[in-house]
Structure 1
Amino acid sequence: MQDSATKVLRLFLLRHARSGWALPGQRDFDRSLDETGFIEAEQLAQMAADRGIRPERIVCSTAARCRETAEPFFRTVSEDLDIRYIDELYSGPTSVYFDLIDAHRHLNSLMLVGHNPMIEQLLYRLIGDDAAREALPDGYPPAGLAIVDLPASDPSASGTLVSLLLPNP
């Protein structure tokens, strides 16, 4: 049994895959993945399944491109995944992401599927500017999945970047 002081929340930060431009009259919220984005989402889900990645819960933006990025995880990782859709991940600031992390610190693992610039800002604040710049010198790419370990009992403690998964479309 782990001591509560050493308990870690494994956090998976997934930026939605590449999306197409909004069609005339289409809201940004309704933009779908483009062909490359669908391939990226499938590849990333397969990479996650191959590595045994299975978050206890997925919290996903309600925007179409985020839902389409998360959907392949059901087919490749598990159809029993606990997924929750949250509107605020689309329109809210980075603080919404932090609030969701804090609300889920009782879990062993959590995946957030969201948008830039919030996902990138979140990673910078969790692991520090230097580590984030070193890991992602060109910014947080579409369909990028950062795996971060956070001390579950200390919300102010820095996290550690464990791994970074990027699809190869």
Structure 2
Amino acid sequence: MPAASAPVFRLYLLRHAKAAWALPGQKDFDRTLDDTGYADAEIVADMAADKGLRPDLVLCSTAVRCRQTADALRRSMTEELDIRYVDELYSGSANVYRDIIGSQDPALSAIMLVGHNPVIEDILRDVIGEDAANKVAAAGYPPGALAAIDFKTRPGDGILPLGILAAWLDPDGRSR
């Protein structure tokens, strides 16, 4: 049996971990992870590191809860992990996320987005299909969950080709 070929490109989709409710007068942007969120971010980051799921580049929403989630990756993987903060990931639509993915350096073989629902889930459903998405996220994309999606062709011009779910990690310990 021939060996499976390596993917041309891998996309990681990480929804920020569970956040606290906004305090009176606090902006949504400034919401922090709650105690469960901090723990869940560490769990998923450790699981990803243990499985060798490491991106070349992390593109992270500038919202506090996303930055805190990405910090867990840096602690679990390496201090040299390239994390760049992108304002448009905070309130951008699925089309904005697609454009950001497609505009990255073609030399990168794996990027991760740390962002928000419903867009993270929309992208997952678009690229792996409803049936596959329902198998791992029937009740929605859980906070702190990470999907690794492999592609045979590179995304570009705001278009994401169909991909295959290579791994699914969530803080409740479910992995695939």
Give CA deviations for 1:65-100 in whole Å, capped at 9, x if unaligned: 000000011111011111110011011101111011
1:96 is paired with a residue of what secondary structure?
helix
Partner of 1:119: 120
Identity of aligned residues (%): 52
Give yes or no for contact 1:55–1:109 (8 Å, CA) kept in 2: yes
Give yes or no for contact 2:16–2:115 (8 Å, CA) kept in 1: yes
C-alpha RMSD over aligned residues: 1.6
* Aligned amino acid, residue 172 of structure 2: N
Partner of 1:30: 30
**CA drift at 1:152:** 3.2
Normalising by the residue count of structure 2, what TM-score does the alignment of the two structures yield?
Answer: 0.88
User: Which residue, 135, 159, 165 being the options, matches 1:161?
Assistant: 165
Give yes or no for contact 1:18–1:143 (8 Å, CA) kept in 2: yes
Pairing of 1:49-68 with structure 2 (within 5 A): 49-68=49-68
**CA drift at 1:7:** 5.4
* Aligned amino acid, residue 86 of structure 1: V
**CA drift at 1:64:** 0.3
Q: Structure 1 CA distance, aligned partners of 2:64 and 2:151?
A: 29
Pairing of 1:31-110 with structure 2 (within 5 A): 31-104=31-104, 106=106, 107-110=108-111
Query: What are the ranges of 5 or more consecutive residues in structure 1 without an aligned counterpart?
Result: 1-5
Pairing of 1:136-147 with structure 2 (within 5 A): 136-147=137-148
Give the number of equivalent residue pairs: 164
Normalising by the residue count of structure 1, what TM-score does the alignment of the two structures yield?
Answer: 0.92
Query: What are the ranges of 5 or more consecutive residues in structure 2 without an aligned counterpart?
Result: 1-5
* Aligned amino acid, residue 157 of structure 1: P
2:166 is paired with a residue of what secondary structure?
strand
1:24 is paired with a residue of what secondary structure?
coil
Q: Structure 2 CA distance, aligned partners of 1:48 and 1:156?
A: 23
